[in-house]
Structure 1
Amino acid sequence: MFGSLVVFFPTRHEGGVVHIRHKGKEWSFDPAAITAAQESPSIAFIALKSDAEREITVVNSGYCVTITYNLYFDGSDTSATPQIGVDEGEALHKCLSTLLDNTELLPDGGYLGFGLRYMYPITTNSTSYSLFEVINSLKGSDAVIKRVLDQLDLSPELKIIYEVEDDDDDCSPLQVMLDSEASFPEEQSDMSLKEALSEYGTIILSEEIHWVTPLTSFSRITSQYVTYGNEASLQYAYGDICLVVEIPVTGKRLKGKRGGRKSEDS
């Protein structure tokens, strides 16, 4: 998938503004205002590259009806497709091997995190299955990273990272790692979001994870949950998909344990 096309139907609504960020630039696209300004019913549409970050604001009233098309290159003739990332993979393999040999890196064990560089279609009503599909169809540099991690026997997995406020620290948010969006708690009673998430996922402290490539929001999941105070309230939390590998304590990170580079034919 190299991009997506989103078509907005001329239904009356407020909100649903699309904010786009790409290579340090930002744009806003308001389909409600565009369709309302037309003399006759008209659609609005926007096309985005797969590495463009997008965020859609909440629809405050009415209904926002859309169709999203995932855009792919024609794969009927793959004979001229180049082998992508061979040199990059060799360099990354060497770099990660050196990194894992560093006894000062996560001496008590922890996680290596890799933010995704491309956007992938995520089906939130069946995220576990969708994540399984995505990890087997990564693109470009994301695919190179996974291939190298497999060669190092590091068992990469796709995880969802949510950032939540720390009840004990007003400044630093906590990162909570879930296996799937289905694990996200749908409602809270007297617990904070941090407490609710900790029952379903893993709270990661900053000293327990090393981000080799920064966490991105290109493939973001919006999760809904209900809080109860004086009255029920619908809230939203945002989780970002990333590649994660768990690494053991320093003493167990031996080259013989990790194995050498696997052949491309294996």
Structure 2
Amino acid sequence: MVCYIIAFALHSAEWGFARGLAAERASDGSEDAKRINVDLYGRLGVAATVVAVAANIVGVVARGIAAGRAPWGNMYEFVTAAMAFLSVLYLLCVWLWRGRWLGLGVTGLCALMMGLAITSFYVEVAPLMPALHSVWFIIHIVAAVLAAAAFNVAGVASVLYLVRSRAERKGEITGYLAKVPTSRRLDLFAHRVTAFAFPIWTFTIVAGAIWAQYAWGRFWNWDPKETWSFITWVFYAGYLHAALTAGWRGTRAAVLALIGLATFWFNFVGVNLLFSGLHSYSGI
């Protein structure tokens, strides 16, 4: 968690030093110095994220070794694994598409969720209930955390789209927004990442149904977790369908994507805390 906090602080400094910079290249030395600081803190933020991911993965593996099983048996373990996947996906975006502009949102989310995992979700290592001893359980969870990572990267891009498009309308592309892709590119990026995540989320639900059939003798029981997983699926299906058929792009698409992400997070955290059901094995 500490490494994620440091990474978030460095990316915050990156945005802070960029404040007031114009989109055009500055001519005075003070502006040039600010640009150097922006780049320096950005690179340090990425480096800190690499260290955080390494520590996170080591922690997940150590938990699995201590438990003698796949380390995804409760909410604490799921959160730590999901944040590792999210951070790795962010670093891939940095490497492949110069996506450092995602850093503030991603590291902030990781720091928050890891903090909650340690302070609120932590439970002692314990054996899994018999129903979870299935290869379909592992497949189901791996698909879920991968989809979670992609949905959250798309969510960060959607938030940045709303901020950047508002600045473009006002003609105020200054500070770090000058380094963020255009609103059109952000919209396209969010759409493509969501299109990548959606079939994985679909497979998550299917794998969970197969696992439920083996574990409890039925594919679907309208358990709160199942229901909210389906609600999330419906929102993202609507997002992709509206984009392809009705031409929904821009602000409407970004808002719909963020509503879908909100349903995902409610399913991810809220359902575990507020409801009981077949997924109540999570230990919190």
TM range (shorter): under 0.3
Structure having the higher Rg = 1
Higher helix share: 2
Higher strand share: 1
* TM-score normalised over the length of structure 1: 0.27
* TM-score normalised over the length of structure 2: 0.25
